[in-house]
């Protein structure tokens, strides 16, 4: 066996292990009946990209749902997934492009033992409870901190206008 053959075989085993881990985690999430992450879609040919709906419980986001995309790098679980909001959201920690400031998936905080459901729970907690001290949108963080009533009104109107329809139980 050549070194190249061994490396190729090792890469294939790592890919297989990574893919089977994704399927396992996806299966666990679907079976758990998580109410705040629904309608999970995965392309059978690309297990590294998931889409689903974040369904917040708390005002002002409880008037809609938000489609997110989770992209897992080939090096997962050694590198964190990337989460992007595909539905616009009025939130200090999520920018206009849908990028999220979520500490659990930052390069410096990521731990390979972290499971996808923990990442999703952290994301839901952030949506339900904005962190204005770590903003991606300073204007919304300021509004949230200085005039919570106005922020809630604006966020609720924005959610009604741009949010996805909430799934029915």
Residue 29 lies in a domain: yes
Rounded to 10 degrees, what is the CA torsion of 156, 95, 116, 168? Answer: 30
Residue 169 lies in a domain: no
Residue 154 lies in a domain: yes
More confident: 90 or 39: 90
Residue 124 lies in a domain: yes
Summarised one tens digit per residue, pLDDT across range 6-42 is: 434 434 444 444 567 778 888 888 888 788 999 989 9
* Rounded-to-integer distance, Cα 98 and Cα 69, Å: 10
The pTM assigned to this predicted structure is 0.85
| Domain containing residue 75 | 3-162
Residue 167 lies in a domain: no
Residue 123 lies in a domain: yes
Indicate whether 152 pLDDT > 80: yes
Active-site amino acid positions: 101
Work out the average pLDDT over 130-146: 97
Q: According to the per-residue pLDDT averaged within each range, which of 9-13, 147-151, 164-168 is highest? A: 147-151
With cut-offs at 50, 70 and 90, classify the pLDDT of residue 124: very high
Q: Is the peptide bond before 77 cis (omega within 30 degrees of 0)?
A: yes
* Rounded-to-integer distance, Cα 163 and Cα 63, Å: 8
Residue 168 lies in a domain: no
Indicate whether 5 pLDDT > 70: no
The CA distances from residue 13 to 17, 46, 79, 98, 111, in Å, are: 6, 17, 18, 34, 22
The CATH number of whichever domain residue 42 belongs to comes to 3.10.110.10
Return the percentage of the chain with pLDDT > 70, whole number: 88
pLDDT of residue 14: 46
Q: Specify the number of domains making up the chain.
A: 1
Residue 30 lies in a domain: yes
């Amino acid at each position: 066996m050549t070194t190249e053959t061994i490396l190729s075989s090792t890469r294939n085993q790592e890919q297989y292990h990574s893919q089977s881990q994704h399927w396992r985690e996806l299966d666990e999430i679907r079976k758990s009946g998580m109410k705040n992450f629904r309608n999970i879609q995965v392309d059978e040919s690309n297990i590294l990209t998931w889409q689903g709906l974040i369904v917040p419980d708390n005002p002002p986001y409880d008037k809609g749902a938000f489609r997110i995309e989770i992209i897992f790098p080939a090096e997962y679980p050694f590198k964190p997934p990337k989460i992007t909001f595909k539905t616009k959201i009025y939130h200090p920690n999520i920018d206009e492009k849908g990028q999220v400031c979520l500490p659990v998936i930052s390069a410096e905080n990521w731990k390979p033992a972290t499971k996808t459901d923990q990442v999703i729970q952290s994301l839901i907690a952030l949506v339900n409870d904005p962190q204005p001290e770590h903003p991606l949108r300073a204007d919304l963080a300021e509004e949230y901190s200085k005039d919570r009533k106005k922020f809630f009104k604006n966020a609720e109107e924005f959610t009604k206008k741009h949010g996805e329809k909430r799934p029915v139980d």
